[in-house]
Amino acid sequence: MIIKSVKLVNFRNHSEYLLECKDSTSLILGENGCGKTSVLEAIYILTRGKSFRAVDAEILKRGEEFYRVEIEFCNGEKSIVTFDGKDKTFIILDKKTKRLPKKNKYPVVLFLPSDLNLVSSSPVRRREYFDRIFSQFNEKYSDDLLRYEKALKQRNELLKSDYLKPDMMFSWNILLAKYGAEIEHLRKQFIEEINKRITKVYRSIANNDDEVLIKLDSTTSEDSDEYLRSLEANFEKDRILGHTSFGVHRDDFVFLFNQNEADGSASRGEVRSIILALKFIEAEMILEKLSKRPIILLDDVFSELDDARRKCLVENFRDNQVIITSVEAFGS
């Protein structure tokens, strides 16, 4: 067991809430809207450093001045996060920090009902999904992505200026090329690793001979010099558009099913099996890369799966600590 208990104060619609976790699987039962997902969100904040769905001001219970979350781990240590309406503070071993230290982050496999729509969702949604996964595989990816997004924001603001000249772009182009090329390299590496596994894992779930692949749909380069030249070549276009039209922030991840785009060719059940396979691979790669079994957070996904896929989900995560939310009890 990793987490022993979770305590929420003024977190979303919870004035106070205490979850005592079990060694293997903990089930949070309740009607829709009662705050089950909020418990998973609180756990995610104290294991990953930020919410997967909102900013802190939206999390704070209406009418209250602060929220507080405390997790007690099986080794007796505690982690606390507080938000006073303005600033968020992590308290780890009695030390206060503005961000969750890297050494105190713990890998999590998060499974939301919306993930089952990933194949047909927008490129933005798919990028966010894979960025979240890849950031757990590799801290450098997370750091590079943060630096890239900051540089991109600055460049886009400059592109809206009335007094813009090409040389004003140079420093931001350099940063975007440096971090963009590194992000592209890691994306290709991770997708290649996933593709080596996904068909086999999918077939073990679906019990058929179909083939699944994920294609990184990108025009960007792993070479920073080539990346820089492309940014410079697109300057006039970007100035007219008012934003940066080239880069890894335009990448997409396309699911292929028997060499055709899965969106439109795979059935609803086949898509669910694809996403299950992706979740199993995520947990497997985290264990291989970090030597840690991730915590599994399942938010009301059992209601979206048939009995065979439920059984498969339980079987694959039997060695992990699993926390499930559901509107009804179910057999394992």
For each of the domains in the chain, give its residue range(s) and CATH number, in order of start: 3-106+294-326 (3.40.50.300), 119-289 (1.20.1050.90)
Average pLDDT over residues 178-184: 98
Residue carrying the six token digits 């410079």: 232
DSSP, residue by residue, 148-217: HHHHHHHHHHHHT-TT--GGGGHHHHHHHHHHHHHHHHHHHHHHHHHHHHHHHHHHHHH-S---EEEEEE
Q: How far is CA 134 from the centre of its chain?
A: 8
The first and second tokens of residue 102, run together, are 């890297």
Q: What is the pLDDT of residue 20?
A: 96
Q: How far is CA 36 from the centre of its chain?
A: 19
Q: Is the pLDDT score of 326 beyond 50?
A: yes
Residue carrying the six token digits 């083939």: 211
Average pLDDT over residues 125-154: 96
State pLDDT tens for residues 182-205.
999 999 999 999 999 999 999 999
Q: What is the pLDDT of residue 331?
A: 55
User: Element (H or E) spanning 125, and its range?
Assistant: helix 123-137
Query: How far apart are the C-alpha atoms of 332 and 313, rounded to whole Å?
Result: 10
Average pLDDT over residues 266-291: 96
* First-to-final CA distance of the chain: 19
State pLDDT tens for residues 140-156.
999 999 999 999 999 99
Q: How far is CA 221 from the centre of its chain?
A: 24
**How does strand 88-92 pair with strand 25-29?**
unpaired
Of 228, 231, 145, 212, whose CA–CA distance to 184 is shortest?
145
Other C-beta atoms lying within 10 Å of the C-beta of residue 150: 13
Give φ, ψ of 202 to 5 degrees: -60, -45
* Contact assessment for residue 257 and residue 265, using Cβ atoms and an 8 Å cutoff: yes
Other C-beta atoms lying within 10 Å of the C-beta of residue 163: 6
Query: How far apart are the C-alpha atoms of 50 and 47, rounded to whole Å?
Result: 8
Give φ, ψ of 326 to 5 degrees: -160, 155
The chain-wide mean pLDDT, for the chain, equals 94
Q: Is the pLDDT score of 332 beyond 60?
A: no
Q: Is the pLDDT score of 165 beyond 90?
A: no
3-state helix, strand, coil in the chain (%, to 5): 50, 20, 30
What is the DSSP-derived secondary structure letter of residue 222?
A: S
Query: How far apart are the C-alpha atoms of 191 and 126, rounded to whole Å?
Result: 13
Hey, which residues does 108 pair with through a beta bridge? 295
What is the DSSP-derived secondary structure letter of residue 54?
A: -
The whole model's pTM is what? 0.91
State pLDDT tens for residues 224-250.
999 999 999 999 999 999 999 999 999
Average pLDDT over residues 262-266: 95
What is the DSSP-derived secondary structure letter of residue 258?
A: T
Residue 148 burial (C-beta neighbours within 10 Å; 0-12, 13-18, 19+) = buried
Q: Is the pLDDT score of 73 beyond 80?
A: yes
Task: With H, G, I as helix, E, B as strand and everything else as coil, classify residue 6.
Answer: strand
State pLDDT tens for residues 32-59.
889 999 999 999 999 999 999 999 999 9
CA angle 223, 130, 274 (to 5 degrees): 125
